[in-house]
Structure 1
Amino acid sequence: MSSFIKDLSRVGVSNFVIISSGILTSIITARYIGPEGNGIIAGLAVYPSLFMTIGSLGIRQSTAYYLGKGLYPEEKIKTAITQIWMCTTVLSFVICFILMRYFSKSGDNLYWVLLSLLPIPFNLFVTYNSGIFLGKNNISAFNKVNWIPPLLTLFLTLIFIVVLDLSVTGALLAVIGGPLFMAFLMLFRNDFLRAFKFEVDLTVIKSMLSLGLIYAFSLLIINLNYKADYILLDKLSSSYELGIYSKGSTITQYLWQIPMLLSTIVFARSAVSKNDRKFSMKVAQLLRISFILIGSASLTLFLLSDFIIITMYGESFRDSILVLKFLLPGVVILTIFKVMNMDLAGKGKPWIAMKAMFPSLIINVVLNYIFIPKYGAAGSAICSTISYIIAALTFLFFYSREVKIPISEILRFRKSDFDPIFSVINKLKKR
């Protein structure tokens, strides 16, 4: 079997484990905890997930860059990572605690707040250090970092919620297990104990932060667009409405795994290309394929939404059907951003994403303040779809100008678009 087919198989298996583990975990929490309990969990999770973006500081990307280029010795990079990690863990903990405790309805229970904060140091440690695998082009190890935590979370969810009946507490405990295991594994496997030193190399730290901060701020704006509805539902509505919204939106997010898998196929021979225009044309090809597949999957979800929601989550989540239906058009259109941003972020231009995402974030927040009091979760879904469409079309405009390829050229379908997929199918048949 060729190395390409092996890599494709690993990525495919990794994505399958991530998606199936996430869906099964979501079903268990829905069936055993109900809409209100799931709303509490979603409200508690939103700030830690945002601060994972801020706290990560783009260190994974800068670690991969400096290690891959050989600009600094691996030991110095590891030491810098541990020192940055200790500082960001404390800052993320403190700021996140204040926001959750005093600005969120879900933060009334101090015990739950502390439990939801516990994964932060382990998640940050894993995120920072996964950049080492990328820098060494160790895709197999990097994939394990992605799929092992959700699989462990599923296993612990079964124990804490189904067997021990710990409800919300059990769900929060289950989320800690995956990153905790990976952090300890990396600590010993990558020999990080030696990296904990008092000697500070400001040159390395400054270099890593200066490159990473741009990525981090860009990711923050992007993720705020995805999480604004959760924050505002938590503030302006009830735990029930937030729980209903969380289950409807969870299903749509797995559609964006399709471009991640397809990128392995489409970029197989061009990822290292020095011809920027040629690479951008490959990205456009990936977009067109993704449009067809995500559009088809979204249409299927729309038509079968009643059956899917009730079968997975139960009758108590019937209101999630409308949330799912309202979100799907926005998810399809936002595929433009999801795919095209792979190109510009990879070329070290993450600020272009901010130019598109910041205006749509403002629109998202304003619309949510208007729609949530009247229409609850369904209203928030409408706001998200509107902001997603604005963000995607704005980004397409900026992307077209940046890569100097007309929008019509980017979106025009070609017979050759599916050639890479047919090529892989033929390779598999010949095995």
Structure 2
Amino acid sequence: MVIKKKKSTFYNILNTLITQFYLIGTGFILTILITRELGAESKGILVTLQLIPALIISFFDMGIRQSIAYYYSKNIKDRDYLITTSLYMLFLTSFLSIIITIGIYYLFYEEYLNIGYLIPIVLMIPLTLFAIYFRGVLQGLNEIPTINLARNTHQTSYIFLILLLLIFQLLNVKLVLWAEFFAFSLMSYVIFKNVKPELSLFRISFSKIWMKNIVTLGITYALTVFVLRLNYKVDALFLAKLRGPDEVGIYSIGTTIAELIWQIPGAIGVVLFSSNLNKSKKDATESTVRLTRISFVASIILGSILYFISPLLIKLTFGIEFIEASTAIRLLLPGIIFMVVFQILNSDMNAKGKPLMAFKVFLFALIGNCILNFLLIPTYGIKGAAFASTITYVISTIIYMVMYTRFNNINLREIICLNSKDISIVKNKLIRRIK
């Protein structure tokens, strides 16, 4: 493989952060354009058609991407076996995903068994799984800009095709699915082009050991992600059951806006996971806690601004009927800010092959979250849901911080207390970028 000059961690974080906001902004625009043109019924059909394969693919993801990234960075001599195993898994999971998807449509959604719908959906499945698995290879090689290029290529081409369909007044469910297929094809091509030298390592022989290793570690990543997602969504489920859909709608706006702060650890986490795979434990910990300190302070500043402007922001963007969402934002912010610390530390532990640390902490957090939601929501509604989440987020993050310090033999102050060296580093990086 051609040796590329590796980008700095700061560059990769900035590149990923820009990509995140680009995807969020354009995704919002796409949703508006497609929904207004299709109408409620056709939009519902599109969502249903997209949902089934998405759920099946998420099942067969199983944390495989993170597992491949971890092993690919640690086992340079065995990369031929890893590539071979990844390709065999791609063939197997693609076949099973296609069969299960068609089977679900046949058994439960027979009205959607239209060849015009099924062909692009079936073709998208292997492309999506290829992108997922081989993003793991790129992460193992710390090729973050390439991953972001692939994501941007998908989104930009999708927008372009949707706009063309709108201009020529051809937009319908079938052509939206085909536009999505071509967008996935271009994204997969970008990934293929950059992993092509690695694919030359493919061999016919199959390794059961590496299959077991990848799947076993992948399941631990998947379990952790599943528990974390439940923690993030359980409050809305309780609200729906105990109070009704109107409060869920208001609350969802509050959580969506408050969680924009998570774009910071989201961008850092992707980069940190890849870069720390190739570092010693000491170096990985040092860079992680520095980024955690800086991000924690940045999140406090952003959170403080959001706290004061949230009523006006909600009123201007969604209307006075959603003003209670600002209360949810204010109550959620302490927990959201603490979770910034957790998400960055967790990225480092994932790179060290220890995802179950978060699983253990947040499994108990999930139980506590459920109990608090059950007790508080009937009386306090949205306020109760937000308070329950903040309490569990803060306590869980503190527990995780203590576990992290013990595992890495550092002091708790090193995680959250900004120092003069941190300020100098940020200042120099910004000055260098401006110049």
TM-score by length of 1: 0.74
Further displaced range: 417-426 or 22-31: 22-31
- Tell me if 1:12 matches 2:11: no
Work out whether residues 154 and 183 of structure 2, in 8 Å CA contact, stay in contact via their aligned partners in 1.
yes
- Tell me how far 1:10 sits from its aligned partner: 5.5
- Tell me how far 1:358 sits from its aligned partner: 0.7
Letter of the 2:251 counterpart? Y
- Tell me how far 1:290 sits from its aligned partner: 0.9
Match of 1:58 in 2: 63
CA spacing shift, 1:168–1:332, aligned 2, 3 Å:
farther
Work out whether residues 130 and 145 of structure 1, in 8 Å CA contact, stay in contact via their aligned partners in 2.
no
Q: Whole-Å Cα distance in 1 between the matches of residues 29 and 232 of structure 2? A: 22
Give the % identical residues.
27
- Residue number among 286, 307, 313 corresponding to 1:308 in the alignment: 313
- Residue number among 127, 130, 136 corresponding to 1:131 in the alignment: 136
- Tell me how far 1:268 sits from its aligned partner: 12
CA spacing shift, 1:301–1:167, aligned 2, 3 Å:
farther
- Tell me how far 1:172 sits from its aligned partner: 9.0
- Tell me if 1:227 matches 2:233: yes
Match of 2:427 in 1: 422
- SS of alignment partner, residue 72 of structure 1: helix
- Tell me how far 1:260 sits from its aligned partner: 5.3
- Tell me if 1:351 matches 2:356: yes
Q: Whole-Å Cα distance in 2 between the matches of residues 384 and 47 of structure 1? A: 29
- Residue number among 267, 280, 302 corresponding to 2:285 in the alignment: 280
Match of 1:336 in 2: 341
- Residue number among 322, 325, 333 corresponding to 1:320 in the alignment: 325
Letter of the 2:229 counterpart? N
Post-superposition Cα deviations, 1:161-190, rounded to whole Å, max 9, x if no partner, equal: 999798999999987775454246546775
Letter of the 1:12 counterpart? L
Q: Which structure 2 residue ranges, 5 or more long, are not aligned?
A: none
Q: Whole-Å Cα distance in 2 between the matches of residues 383 and 168 of structure 1? A: 40
- 1:29-44 alignment, distance < 5 Å: 29=31
- Tell me how far 1:82 sits from its aligned partner: 3.6
- Residue number among 247, 252, 255 corresponding to 2:253 in the alignment: 247
- SS of alignment partner, residue 78 of structure 2: coil
Q: Whole-Å Cα distance in 1 between the matches of residues 379 and 172 of structure 2? A: 30
CA spacing shift, 1:87–1:375, aligned 2, 3 Å:
farther
Q: Whole-Å Cα distance in 1 between the matches of residues 408 and 371 of structure 2? A: 32
CA spacing shift, 1:46–1:291, aligned 2, 3 Å:
farther
- Tell me how far 1:328 sits from its aligned partner: 1.6
- Tell me how far 1:63 sits from its aligned partner: 2.1
Letter of the 1:18 counterpart? Q
Q: Whole-Å Cα distance in 2 between the matches of residues 179 and 247 of structure 1? A: 29
Report which of the two structures shows the higher radius of gyration computed on alpha carbons. 2
- 1:26-425 alignment, distance < 5 Å: 26=28, 29=31, 54-68=59-73, 69-74=75-80, 76-88=81-93, 122-152=127-157, 179=184, 181-183=186-188, 186=191, 190=195, 200-233=206-239, 238-259=244-265, 273-274=279-280, 276=282, 279-314=284-319, 317-372=322-377, 377-425=382-430
Work out whether residues 122 and 179 of structure 1, in 8 Å CA contact, stay in contact via their aligned partners in 2.
yes
Work out whether residues 14 and 144 of structure 1, in 8 Å CA contact, stay in contact via their aligned partners in 2.
no
Q: Whole-Å Cα distance in 2 between the matches of residues 9 and 354 of structure 1? A: 30
- Tell me how far 1:392 sits from its aligned partner: 0.8
Further displaced range: 368-377 or 53-62: 368-377
Q: Whole-Å Cα distance in 2 between the matches of residues 385 and 173 of structure 1? A: 42
Kindly tell me the number of residue pairs found equivalent between the two proteins. Answer: 419
Q: Whole-Å Cα distance in 1 between the matches of residues 270 and 207 of structure 2? A: 37
- SS of alignment partner, residue 137 of structure 1: coil
Q: Whole-Å Cα distance in 1 between the matches of residues 178 and 382 of structure 2? A: 27
- Tell me how far 1:303 sits from its aligned partner: 1.0
- Tell me how far 1:206 sits from its aligned partner: 1.8
Cα RMSD after superposing both structures: 4.9
CA spacing shift, 1:394–1:174, aligned 2, 3 Å:
farther
Further displaced range: 173-182 or 377-386: 173-182
Letter of the 1:17 counterpart? T
- Tell me if 1:23 matches 2:22: no
Q: Whole-Å Cα distance in 2 between the matches of residues 225 and 155 of structure 1? A: 36
CA spacing shift, 1:187–1:426, aligned 2, 3 Å:
closer
Post-superposition Cα deviations, 1:246-278, rounded to whole Å, max 9, x if no partner, equal: 3332233332232455679999999855352x5
Work out whether residues 15 and 145 of structure 2, in 8 Å CA contact, stay in contact via their aligned partners in 1.
no
- SS of alignment partner, residue 405 of structure 1: coil
Letter of the 1:229 counterpart? D
Q: Whole-Å Cα distance in 1 between the matches of residues 248 and 111 of structure 2? A: 20
Post-superposition Cα deviations, 1:63-122, rounded to whole Å, max 9, x if no partner, equal: 233433224344x4344224324554577789999999x9xxxx999869x99x987665
CA spacing shift, 1:140–1:335, aligned 2, 3 Å:
closer
CA spacing shift, 1:195–1:110, aligned 2, 3 Å:
farther
Work out whether residues 138 and 195 of structure 2, in 8 Å CA contact, stay in contact via their aligned partners in 1.
no
Letter of the 1:202 counterpart? K
- Tell me how far 1:152 sits from its aligned partner: 5.0
CA spacing shift, 1:288–1:185, aligned 2, 3 Å:
closer
Q: Whole-Å Cα distance in 2 between the matches of residues 269 and 211 of structure 1? A: 19
Q: Which structure 1 residue ranges, 5 or more long, are not aligned?
A: none
